[in-house]
């Protein structure tokens, strides 16, 4: 990172939204719209990572977002910036995507998302559904998810799983237990089934 440029950006006192917009524009030019979603904790590969330690050092989320934006603007050209969602939480990790970040680490076996069904929902289905929900968060930020898995010290990239049939059960406010089915493209894409409380 250019220490001189970093200090200049900090001293300039730019509005946080302006700084974020500049960092996001540079990220788009250098890294594109793909967000690499790490489902396991990657090895220490030297990628600049922001997590719990950085948040505690910053003191609050706004200062952390400013640091992420400056890391993009003053950092090595084209370098990835990684967010540890376990340390920051998914909401802040999602916001960080608009401030120059382009990778997120989410330990998919530990993250709490939707409330899934009981024993009738397999571990494989839960993993698939969690992955899809995480990809939805990334798409809602206007980005394209790409899955990264780590096995035997190596990273393997793939497209999100949209073909494995999976179901989940949840209770939304004012509704009975409903099923959400993801049959995959062969069955015409995603389908969601819900019924209002008292509906037959």
Chain segment 22-68, per-residue pLDDT in tens? 999 999 999 999 999 999 888 888 899 999 999 999 999 999 999 99
**137 with 160: CB under 8 angstroms?**
no
Question: What does the block give as tokens for 171?
Answer: 């209770």
For the segment 57-100, what is each residue's pLDDT rounded down to a tens digit? 999 999 999 999 999 999 899 999 999 998 999 899 999 999 99
pLDDT of 109 reads 67
Identify whether the C-beta of residue 70 lies closer than 8 Å to the C-beta of residue 19.
yes
Model confidence pLDDT, tens digit, residues 102-148: 999 998 766 655 545 555 667 778 888 888 889 998 998 889 999 99
Rounded to whole angstroms, the Cα distance separating 48 from 82 reads 6
Contact of 82 with 49, CB cutoff 8 Å:
yes
Pairwise pLDDT comparison (5 vs 199), residue with the higher score: 5
Look at residue 200 in the predicted model and tell me its pLDDT. 37
* Phi, psi torsion values for 189, nearest 5 degrees: 95, -165
pTM of the model: 0.75
DSSP string over 19-69: HHHHHHHHHHHHH-SEEEEESSPPP----EEE-HHHHHHH-SHHHHHHHHH
pLDDT at 4 over 80: no
Q: Where are the domains of the chain?
A: 3-161, 163-200
Mean pLDDT of 163-191: 52
Local confidence band at 150 (pLDDT 50, 70, 90 cut-offs): confident
């Amino acid at each position: 990172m250019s220490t001189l440029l970093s200090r200049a950006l900090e001293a300039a006192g730019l509005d946080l939204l302006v700084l974020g917009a500049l960092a996001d524009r540079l990220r788009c030019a250098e890294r594109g719209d793909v967000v690499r979603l790490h489902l396991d904790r990657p090895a220490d590969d030297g990628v600049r990572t922001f997590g719990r330690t950085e948040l505690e050092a910053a003191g609050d989320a706004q200062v952390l977002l400013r640091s992420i934006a400056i890391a993009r603007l003053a950092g090595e050209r084209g370098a990835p910036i990684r967010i540890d969602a376990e340390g920051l939480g998914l909401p802040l990790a999602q916001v960080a995507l608009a401030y120059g970040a382009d990778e997120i680490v989410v330990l998919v076996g530990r993250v709490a998302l939707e409330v899934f069904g009981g024993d009738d929902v397999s571990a494989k289905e839960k993993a698939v559904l969690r992955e899809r929900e995480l990809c939805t968060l990334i798409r809602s930020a206007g980005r394209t998810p790409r899955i990264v898995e780590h096995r035997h010290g190596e990273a393997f990239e793939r497209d999100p799983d949209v073909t494995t049939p999976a179901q989940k059960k949840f209770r939304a406010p004012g509704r009975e237990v409903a099923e959400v089915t993801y049959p995959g493209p062969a069955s015409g894409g995603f389908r969601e089934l819900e019924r209002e409380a008292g509906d037959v």
